[in-house]
Amino acid sequence: MSNTTPVVVVTGASRGAGRGIAIALGRHGCTVYVTGRSENPGDSALPGTIYETAAAVTAAGGKGIAVRVDHSRDEQVKALFEQVKREQGRLDILVNNACALHDQLTAPGNFWEKPLGIVDMLNVGLRSSYVASYYAAPMMVAQRQGLIVFTSASGAVHYVYGPIYGAHKAGMDKFAADMAVDLRDKNVAALSIWMGALKAERLQSLIDSDPGKYAHLADVTETPEFTGHVIWGIYKDPGRMAMSGSTVIGAELALKYGIKDANGRQPTSCRDTHRVAPAVQYPNIIR
């Protein structure tokens, strides 16, 4: 493992999981590029901007660098990684987290009764993660070291909010599995990590919208920073290549690495709460 300060890109880090992951990696001294579209308060219905997150990364002990990127625009994504290469000369961790979450995603109803715009999370979310990985991989391969992470959830293997949400999560897991095949002999790992319900702006808004239905979620949430600390544990793990291609459950790896959430809380694995586990990936390879 190099002693050079790790360089990280966290996509979709204005708020929510991305913001928490970026700040956590800042606490470990990383230089973190924070991407998203929100530059000013009011750019989104939810609070948070890329500059606020970058400042929080720096305050946590790292170096936060905000870069406005519309992840539906491939040329902007390409320019982001060119900037990272030009300014840092390396890239150690990519966290694919950007996702276009429609306000009506969690609304009641069947998929044909919800706005068609919900499908956008297969563009900014699934496709955008492929594009970011496409531009990140050559840097990591050249230095023969790196980690590509896809943020996902157990909705990959059971119904949550409808088919678009599930397709996004399953796709993230599959990206990790198949990219790992191409990266295995390059010493670059690709993993998908299942997060639990996050105690962040969007979930709080959901709880407030129907406390009778969602209040229980407040007792089983993870802070957004929790996954960032788990990602750091993976990065520092000398055996991380053995995990490459797998979908891991953040709460379970936290136990392995001795990581606790805020106030000493130990989040519970969805394997226990939901009785689910990541899908099996078979070793067959057809080229």
Q: Return the active site residues.
A: 165
Its sign, for the CA torsion 188, 155, 101, 201, is: negative
Neighbours of 170 (CB within 10 A): 18
- Nearest Cα to 273, choosing from 243, 257, 251? 251
Segment holding 165, helix H or strand E: helix 163-183
Give the β-pairing of 31-36 and 188-194: unpaired
Contacts of 197 (CB under 8 A, 6+ apart): 203, 217, 220, 221, 222
End-to-end Cα distance, the chain: 32
Neighbours of 49 (CB within 10 A): 24
Contact predicate 132/96, CB 8 Å? yes
- Rounded Cα gap, residues 56 and 14, in angstroms: 11
Count helices and strands (H / E) in the chain: 11, 7
- Sheet with 93-96, strands from edge to edge, namely 63-68, 31-36, 7-10, 93-96, 146-152, 188-194, 247-249
Give the β-pairing of 146-152 and 93-96: parallel
- Rounded Cα gap, residues 165 and 183, in angstroms: 27
